[in-house]
């Protein structure tokens, strides 16, 4: 019985040491894989593909403006109530064209698991800016995609984001 236990003990020791030698980079020559950890996302481009042509009251966006009735659009993004991005203003935007925003890009979002609220505004020089529409999203839900296409819940607004993901080796 003692010999049997001794043999079992030797087999156990042998199998443990054999496992240790087959670790990546060990004596077995296996490949070493680095683990990458997601730490953020870069927003590299923003394009509004669709937005409502009229306000909630049924009027054009700038009905009181003497020479221009098309909206002057800009984008604002926030997280947890704090603004994290504001674009340039695009003057007199026609509804049938895609609008690309380029100022202040790229920008980085490190809190990629938190909800981001993307709002589209019509700048009004005299009164409060009109909220044209908004979309809420969590960047993490789109990990590894280079393009994120977002649609508002009422389907009146579509925005395309070009993104790149930030990883670090661990």
Q: Which residues are within 8 A (CB) of 137 and not within 5 positions of it... i.e. 6 or more apart?
A: 115, 116, 118, 148, 150
46 CB-contact burial (10 Å; exposed 0-12 / middle 13-18 / buried 19+): buried
Question: Cα(150)–Cα(159) distance, rounded to whole angstroms?
Answer: 5
| pLDDT confidence of residue 135 | 98
Q: Does domain 36-169 have CATH number 2.60.40.150?
A: yes
pLDDT digits (tens, 9 = 90+) for 48-81: 999 998 888 888 877 666 666 789 999 999 999 9
Domain ranges, ordered by start, for the chain: 1-33, 36-169
Statement: the pTM of the whole predicted model exceeds 0.85: no
pLDDT digits (tens, 9 = 90+) for 134-158: 999 999 999 999 999 999 999 999 9
| pLDDT confidence of residue 7 | 53
Average pLDDT for residues 39-51, to the nearest whole number?
97
């Amino acid at each position: 019985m003692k010999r049997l236990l001794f043999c079992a003990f030797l087999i156990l020791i042998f199998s443990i040491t054999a496992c240790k030698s087959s670790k990546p980079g060990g004596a077995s020559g296996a490949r070493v894989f680095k683990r990458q950890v997601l730490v953020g996302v870069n927003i590299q481009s923003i394009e509004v593909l669709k937005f409502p042509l009229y306000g909630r009251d049924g009027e054009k966006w700038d009905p009181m403006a003497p020479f221009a009735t098309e909206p002057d659009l800009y984008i604002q993004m926030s997280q947890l109530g704090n603004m994290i991005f504001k674009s340039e203003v695009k003057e007199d935007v026609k509804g049938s064209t895609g609008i690309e925003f380029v100022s202040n890009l790229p920008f980085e979002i490190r809190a990629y698991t938190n909800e981001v609220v993307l709002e589209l505004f019509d700048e009004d020089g005299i009164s409060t800016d009109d909220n044209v529409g908004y979309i809420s999203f969590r960047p993490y839900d789109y990990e590894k995609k280079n393009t994120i296409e977002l649609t508002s819940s009422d389907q009146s607004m579509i925005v395309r984001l070009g993104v790149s993901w930030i990883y670090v080796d661990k």
